Structure formats: C-alpha cells, structure tokens
C-alpha cells in the first residue's frame, strides 16, 4: 500500500534544500504530503473547527426570535436556531475572497470588483481587511443611494439574506450590495465613492481580502410561516420579494407551495449558474 509522505517543515528554516527535495519528490510521486511543524497554531485550527461564525449567527438568530415574540410553545428563542443546526446539511459556506490589485489605468470607468447582488441565505457575516470598497444600496432614501460600509476595527458586518427576507414577509431587509474600487482610506465618515475615486485618481488599487460566512437554513427545513404575530399581521405582498429573487425565471419556485431551504437554494444556484 502507498504511504503518504510526511515532511518536517521545520526544515524550511534550517535546511531548505533538503526540504525542497522532499517536497518535490512527494509531489512527483503521489501529489499528497503531510506537513508537521507547519507553524499554524493548533488553537487557531481548533477555533476554525469550533466554527465561531456559526455560533455568532445562532446568537443573532436567537435575538430575532425574541424580537418576533415567537411563543415558547413553538420553540421560542430557539425557533431559528433549531432550523440552522451546524451538523445538519445546509448551504452554509465560508468563502475567502481576494480581489487582486489593479492599476488605475486598467480599470474602466464603471468597473467594479463585485457586481451588485443580494445574498441568498439567512445571514452573512463579513470580515474585511485593510482595503474597503463594500457599498450597500440604502433603501432608506428615495432614490436609493449607494452607501459605503467602511471597515471599522474590531467590528464585523452582518447582513440579512434573501431567505430571511422572504421568510419574514419582508420585515427584515436583504439589501443589495457591491464592491467598488477604492483606496484603503476606510474611516467611518467617508460618504462618497466618487469623491474617493477622484482622490485616488493617480493611485493604484490595492488587493482586497475579505472572508464571508453565509449562514443558511438546513436543507430540509420548510420555509413555512414563522409563528409570530408580528410577521403574520404584515400584509406585505411576498411577490415583490419573489420577483427580486427571480422566481419568474424559475418556475420551480412556486409562490403557493411551501418549499424547503434546500429546494430554494438549488433554484437560486440553478438560475445563477445555469448548469
Ligand atoms: O467582499 C466583499 O466584501 C463582499 C462579498 C459579497 O458580498 C459576497 O460574496 O456575497
Ligand atoms: Fe454578498
């Protein structure tokens, strides 16, 4: 039986020539290798597996359940949490994003880093590093205005996704957002992307890194009404929301049928990627 080689990465500092030979050989023979003494702290790895992002989302969802006054007989503050269990299959995904640096003269006038969209799931947690550029289309003004969401040290940004907007009959807003080119001037009081772009006219745009955790309901959860008087009393026409999530292009998203979170996500992904 083939054994997968283990390479002592401490050699990287002490004897890089031997280390490079070992890595070359492993890569030529089997293409897999273990590294020991790799320098990534075990506590950090443990934290990733504990999934602090999911835990934070569950706390936020608890607060939503409290705010919506879901009766204890229906699950009370655990109502959403019970539908977003970590061990159960769902569309949850952790994505690390890198937007490469660009020279000013390589960028077209209206070019942006990530096109406008809303997120599909229940909640998104976003971590941004050093270089800003996220903007959301504020629905508190008429007409809606692109509003920067600058990096604030020691803060994470949370946004509502389309599923939660739909589920809450439009009470919670899944706001359209995009990522534009901007410099790393990310103070909280910046207001205008155009001013920013003007100021940056002779600067290049640096790499932007962000990490997004998309929290979705479990695949088998039925998106039936939330047991909340506050939601049930709303007379919001859900067809506005269904329009937004493109159900017209996707006949499978039937307004009158209770679908599961998994079916909903599949429809969205099919509509986006057309595979
Ligand atoms: O990189 C960002 O800041 C935003 C990414 C985003 O909105 C997304 O991936 O859905
Ligand atoms: Fe997004």
Does ligand 1 come within 6 angstroms of the Cβ of 261? Answer: no
Residue with more model confidence, 50 or 3: 3
Least confident of 91-95, 189-193, 252-256: 189-193
The rounded distance, in Å, linking the Cα atoms of 237 and 234 is 9
Bond from prior residue into 143 cis (ω within 30 degrees of 0): yes
Closest CA to 217 of 248, 249, 259: 259
Residue 89 in this model has a pLDDT that exceeds 80:
yes
Task: Choose one of 179, 184, 186 to mutate for the ligand 1 pocket test, by most ligand atoms within 8 angstroms of C-beta.
Answer: 179
Instruction: Tell me the mean pLDDT in the region 109-138.
Output: 91
Q: What is the pTM of this model?
A: 0.83
Question: Which residue lies with its CA nearest to atom 9 of ligand 1?
Answer: 212
Nearest ligand 1 atom to alpha carbon 214: 10
Please report which confidence band the pLDDT of residue 239 belongs to, taking 50, 70 and 90 as the band edges. Answer: confident
Average pLDDT score over the chain: 86
Q: Residue 188's pLDDT is what?
A: 40
Is residue 205 exposed (0-12), middle (13-18) or buried (19+ Cβ within 10 Å)? Answer: buried
CA 178 / ligand 1 centre spacing (Å): 7
Predicted local confidence at residue 245, as pLDDT = 72
Please choose from 177, 178, 205, 211 the residue to mutate so as to test ligand 1's pocket, defined by most ligand atoms within 8 A of CB.
Answer: 177
Query: What share of the chain in percent tops pLDDT 70?
Result: 87
pLDDT at 200: 53
Residue nearest to atom 10 of ligand 1 (CA): 119
Closest ligand 1 atom to the C-alpha of 99?
1
Classify burial at 272, counting beta carbons within 10 Å of its beta carbon; exposed 0-12, middle 13-18, buried 19 or more: exposed
Chain CA centroid to CA 272, Å: 16
User: What are the start-end ranges of the H helices in 114-192?
Assistant: 162-167
- Residue 120 is predicted with a pLDDT of 92
Q: How confident is the model at residue 130 (pLDDT cuts 50, 70, 90)?
A: confident
What is the average pLDDT across 2-28?
Answer: 94
What is the structure's pLDDT at 185? 45
Residue 242 phi/psi, 5-degree rounding, is -65, -35
CB under 5 Å of ion ligand 2: residues: 119
Query: Which distant-in-sequence residues (6+ apart) come within 8 Å of 151 by Cβ?
Result: 128, 129, 130, 132, 186
Under 8 Å CB-to-CB from 49, ≥6 apart: which residues?
Answer: none
CA nearest to 216, candidates 49, 63, 54, 50: 54
Cβ of 179 less than 6 Å from ligand 1: yes
pLDDT at 248 > cutoff 80: no
pLDDT one-digit tens code per residue, 140-176: 888 989 999 999 988 999 999 999 999 999 999 999 9
Buried b (16+ CB within 10 A) or exposed e, 89-110: ebbbeeeeeebeeeeeeeeeee
Is the beta carbon of 182 within 6 A of some atom in ligand 1?
no
pLDDT at 125 over 90: yes
Q: Which atom of ligand 1 is nearest to the CA of 178?
A: 7
């Amino acid at each position: 039986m083939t054994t997968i080689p283990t390479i002592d990465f401490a050699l990287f500092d002490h004897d890089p020539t031997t280390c490079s030979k070992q890595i070359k050989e492993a890569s030529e023979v089997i293409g897999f290798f273990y590294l020991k003494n790799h320098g990534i702290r075990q506590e950090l790895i443990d934290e990733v597996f504990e999934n602090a992002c999911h835990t934070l989302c569950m706390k936020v969802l608890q607060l939503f359940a409290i705010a919506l006054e879901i009766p204890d007989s229906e699950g009370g503050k655990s109502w959403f949490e019970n539908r977003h269990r970590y061990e159960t299959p769902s569309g949850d995904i952790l994505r690390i994003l890198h937007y490469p640096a660009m020279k000013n003269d390589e960028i077209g006038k209206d070019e942006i880093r990530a096109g406008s969209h809303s997120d599909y799931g229940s909640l998104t947690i976003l971590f941004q590093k050093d270089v800003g550029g996220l903007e959301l289309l504020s629905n508190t003004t008429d007409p809606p205005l692109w509003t920067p969401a600058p990096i604030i040290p020691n803060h994470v940004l949370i946004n509502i996704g389309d599923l939660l907007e739909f589920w809450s009959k439009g009470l919670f807003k899944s706001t359209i957002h995009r990522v534009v080119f901007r410099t790393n001037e990310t103070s909280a009081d910046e207001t205008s992307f155009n001013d920013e772009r003007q100021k940056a006219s002779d600067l290049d745009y640096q790499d932007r890194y962000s990490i997004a955790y998309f929290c979705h309901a479990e695949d088998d959860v039925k998106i039936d009404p939330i047991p909340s008087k506050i939601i049930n009393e709303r007379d919001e026409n859900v067809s506005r929301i269904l329009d937004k999530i493109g159900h017209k292009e996707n006949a499978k998203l039937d307004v009158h049928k209770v679908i599961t979170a998994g079916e909903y996500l599949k429809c969205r992904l099919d509509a986006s990627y057309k595979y």
